[in-house]
Amino acid sequence: MPSMRTGSWGPALLLEGAGVSDTAVPFSVEPDVSNHFAWMRTVMAVQRTHMAAVRTAVSLIGFGFTVAQFFQRMQGNLPEGVRHMGPNGPRNFGLVLIAAGVGSLVIFTLQFARMVGYMQHGQLAQLAPPGRVNLTLPNYLIAYTVLLIGVAAFGSVFLRF
């Protein structure tokens, strides 16, 4: 059963039995300058990867919404070959793309939270910046904003607004 932990970094999903705990670091951590900067590079790489996932989700959501809206507006002007798909074919394809964007964003954001939690607990916490520096807030804000937009787009296409 997953348990939720909260710290200065925000919520993170730590799965029990998945090998992630406060003592799960299989190596010794020496708090020196080179290790601190290696820790910073790793955190920034995780953030870049998460932002790439957000960019992919935005593309899927935007393309799905565009496909659904374009074919809805062009319903009467479509060639005969496209009309045989039925009136709901393009709409359903758009819904699948939007759902894929929203679903992938949820999965990637949970993985991002899990990795950030791993990087800021246990022995690796020695390498984190001193104080309560929240390096991940912009990632969460952008991800949640795109998630809300994706849910609104899905609702709009599903309810035919």
Torsion of the alpha carbons at 77, 80, 84 and 90, rounded to the nearest 10: -40
Residues ≥6 apart with Cβ < 8 Å to 39: 119, 124, 127, 128
pLDDT, tens digit, for every residue of 127-147?
887 776 677 888 999 999 999
Residue 124's Cβ-count burial label (10 Å; 0-12, 13-18, 19+) is middle
pLDDT, tens digit, for every residue of 89-138?
788 889 999 999 999 999 999 999 999 888 888 888 888 877 766 778 88
Residue 145's Cβ-count burial label (10 Å; 0-12, 13-18, 19+) is exposed
* SS3 label, residue 79: coil
pLDDT score, position 25: 57
Closest-CA residue to 63 (of 141, 159, 160, 157) = 157
Whole-structure pTM value: 0.73
When the pLDDT of each residue in the chain is averaged and rounded to a whole number, the result is 80
